[in-house]
Amino acid sequence: MSNKYIYIAGKGFTCSIGNNPNELIEFVKSKSGIIFSEEYKSKKNDKPLCLGEISDTYDKFDSLIKSTIDEAINNEIENDRINNYSGKNRSALIIASTSYATKLYEQKVKSEETDRIEDLNYIHPYFFNNLICDYLKFSGLLVNNQNACASSGYSISYGYDLLKNDIVDRVIIIGIDFLCESSIYGFESMGLLDYELVKPYDKNRNGTNLGEGCGVLIIKQYDSKALKNSLIEIKATEQYNDGYHMTSISPDSIGLNKVINELLKVCDSTEIDLVVTHGTGTSNNDLTEGNALKKCFKEKNIDFTSFKSAMAHTLGASSILDVILSVICMENNFIIPTFRFNEPIKEHGLTPVNKCKEKEIRNVITLSSGMGGYTSGILLSK
């Protein structure tokens, strides 16, 4: 295992709160990106659903993805800024999603453009892989990660391991999910959607709001001299499967405890300035995650927040967007607050950061959990 350090060398994002890091802070000071949708209505009560939408058609979103990828690559730290880049130039591309291009299939079905069985290919990852690989003219190590809502967290971890083990020199991680009927009405059928704006960590939370988005990270391995560039380091990653239930995480938070405690072996809890929680606003997640925070950080009054209240839950893209927004918070010493919080959950009594807050942020833990028991944590450090 290499002793070198893994840094974020490039990033790009598109979600309901924008795609420009310079405008993001001002945006979240005044509003969240979740709206009452004109396109999607509840199948149960016919009311407009609260969603973090970006675009109404697949084509528009497709071009947004490409511009997000371009943004990350164009802003990538150049090799010559880092002396010890090995120069083997082997890259890995990791793609994480839960729905891939299902939206495209649904669009075609709706417009009655298709009865062609070939169009079912849109719901298979290979269609989407080829789309991205063709766009990038990519050759290298290609990986798909599917771990439900923790998909892009697992992908960052996979990329981290590829670099640490000297398999490749550069990893591009793309986390992406489109809003599509399959996901929206699937979540609604499971009773997981809030028909009002999502209220993570609130006593009266009633479910999540779904959103769409794309996050692109380029990570590389450097020696310690690169620290002078003030890049954000991925210091550690950890995953665990709690093996409890298919659609909920263990109420005693076994998986989250394990993940957080492993990360705290690398960085003491007193040095963690912010935890970006999965914070979906569902009954199970916020209770369990809060219990884990309380157990692992003990008496320390840790600052934590949930970005889902600002951009909605972007499923397979949520972990990577959490990491990217965390990096922006670290760069600006600013905490994006948890919107619409009023009253703590009785069982753990935790209050998230619910107003814009400026403070020095050196170390951040981001957490994500997914159906199937997947739990992932990433430790970022300045």
Q: Which residues make up the interface to another protein (CB under 8 A)?
A: 1, 43, 93, 98, 102, 105-106, 109-110, 117-118, 120-121, 123-126, 129-130, 133-134, 137-148, 151, 154, 158, 161-162, 165, 167, 181-182, 185-191, 239-241, 243-247, 370-374
Assigned token pair, 126: 């290979």
Q: Find out whether 365 and 278 touch, Cβ atoms under 8 Å.
A: no
Q: How far is the CB of 239 from another protein (least distance, A)?
A: 6
Residue type, 246: M
Residue partners of 190: CB distance under 8 A and separation at least 6: 247
Beta-bridge partner residues of 11: 217
As measured in angstroms, the least distance from the Cβ of 284 to another protein is 15
Supply the minimum distance, in Å, between the C-beta of residue 138 and another protein: 6
- Return the SS3 of 293: helix
Least distance CB 46 / another protein (angstroms): 12
Report the interhelical angle of 318-332 vs 151-164 (nearest 10°). Answer: 70
d(CA 231, CA 226) in angstroms, rounded, equals 8
* Pick 109 or 227: Cβ nearer another protein: 109
- Alpha-carbon gap, residue 170 to 9, rounded angstroms: 9
Nearer to another protein, 179 or 353 (CB): 179
Supply the minimum distance, in Å, between the C-beta of residue 352 and another protein. 27
- Is residue 76 exposed (0-12), middle (13-18) or buried (19+ Cβ within 10 Å)? middle
| Nearer Cβ to another protein (147/366) | 147
The distance between the two most distant Cα atoms of the chain, rounded to a whole number of Å, is 60
The least CB distance from residue 172 to another protein, in Å, is 12
- Of 97 and 354, CB closest to another protein: 97
Are 145 and 94 in contact by the 8 Å Cβ rule? The answer is yes
By beta-carbon proximity to another protein, the closer residue of 202 and 212 is 212
Least distance CB 229 / another protein (angstroms): 27
State the CB neighbour count (10 A cutoff) for residue 167.
12
Residue with Cβ nearer another protein (35 or 133): 133
Nearer to another protein, 108 or 362 (CB): 108
Ramachandran quadrant class, 53 (left: phi over 0; alpha: psi -120 to 50; beta: rest): beta
CA 236, chain centre distance (Å): 16
To another protein, the closest distance from the beta carbon of 285 in angstroms equals 15
Q: Which is nearer to another protein, 1 or 298 (CB)?
A: 1
Residue closer to another protein, measured from CB, 73 or 142: 142
Nearest to 293 by CA among 267, 329, 256, 322: 256
Q: In the complex, what is the shortest distance from the CB of residue 369 to another protein, in angstroms, rounded to a whole number?
A: 11
| Dihedral (Cα; 78, 153, 382, 23), 10-degree rounding | 70
Asked if 171 contacts 159 with a C-beta cutoff of 8 angstroms, the reply is yes
Give Cβ neighbours of residue 268 (< 8 Å, ≥ 6 apart): none
